[in-house]
Amino acid sequence: MSRAPAEVVPAEVVPAEPVIRLDGVGRSFAGPPPVTALHPCDLTVRAGEYVAVTGPSGSGKSTLLHLLGLLDTPTSGRYLLDGIDTGELGDRERSTLRGRRIGFVFQSFHLLPHRTAEENVLLAQVYNRTPRERRLAAARAALRQVGLGHRLDALPTTLSGGERQRVAIARALVNDPSLVLCDEPTGNLDSANAAAVLERFDRLHAEGYTLLVITHDPAVAARAGRTVRIADGRLDGPAPDRPAAR
């Protein structure tokens, strides 16, 4: 059997799907009174980008984060995560996609109070089908990575704010997510712990993680590669790195 000559296409010339692509995504609440929390917007975030989203209180930052995190669904437009059209997924598929591909870091940490640090990180691997021993090893490695290898059995109430946020970061990273979403991650931390979290994010960015951080703190936004502003539910123009149409 003869073979057609192989057409060799180097991997680097094949454009990768953006991690985030929003096409006209908006979110309204029926009310009363009706509220347009996010006007239809476009946003592209590519793998390895570190993006800050800034805007005043009530401008729609959390609404955007909930949509990006598949915790909420848009009332208009299309959201592609890693090229997957999330509007076409059922609830279970959405949950699985969220669990496998997205890590969250929230202002108030959102740790389960009666579970140890190790259990909190282990529970984030519910969508991971590897054996428990492997998941446990991954949880411990993630906690060691954030400098908490000596506090595996600690309950969140016995940890400082900075340590709790590090557990949350370990939990966000344990599944090697495509996207790490953070909502005011330094909002409940003193300046020393906030600085430590920002250093951690710098390192994650250097390691190639894709980070989107919501913040009203200019010091946080200054660390990101790009800042997207939001005011009155309106996102500023399209991403500057969006490739020109061919």
Binding site for Mg ion (CB under 5 A): 61-62
Q: Does 215 bind ligand ADP (CB under 6 A)?
A: no
| Closer of 62 and 215 to Mg ion (Cβ) | 62
Q: How far is the CB of 66 from ligand ADP (least distance, A)?
A: 8
Helix axes 191-206, 161-173, angle to 10 degrees: 20
Residue given tokens 């908490």 in the structure block? 148
Which residue among 44, 62, 116, 165 contacts ligand ADP (CB under 6 A)?
Answer: 62
Q: Which residues pair with 79 in a beta bridge?
A: 22
Q: What is the CA radius of gyration of the chain?
A: 19
- Residue 127 binding result from ligand ADP, Mg ion, none, given CB thresholds of 5 to 8 Å by partner type: none
| Closer of 118 and 183 to ligand ADP (Cβ) | 183
Helical segments of the chain, H only: 61-68, 91-101, 117-123, 132-145, 161-173, 191-206, 218-221
Q: Which residues pair with 104 in a beta bridge?
A: 181
- Site residue total, ligand ADP (CB under 6 A): 11
Peptide bond just before 33 cis, omega within 30 deg: yes
Near ligand ADP by CB under 6 A, which window of 11-19, 29-37, 116-124, 138-146?
Answer: 29-37
Q: Does 175 bind ligand ADP (CB under 6 A)?
A: no
Q: Does 151 bind ligand ADP (CB under 6 A)?
A: no
Q: Give the burial class of 141: count Cβ atoms within 10 A of its Cβ; 0-12 exposed, 13-18 middle, 19 or more buried.
A: middle
Candidates 106, 113, 197, 196; CA nearest to 159 is: 113
- Residue 210 binding result from ligand ADP, Mg ion, none, given CB thresholds of 5 to 8 Å by partner type: none
x-marked contacts with ligand ADP along 32-61 as a string, rule CB under 6 A: ---x-x-----------------x-xxxxx
Would you tell me which residues interact with ligand ADP (CB under 6 A)?
29, 35, 37, 55, 57-63
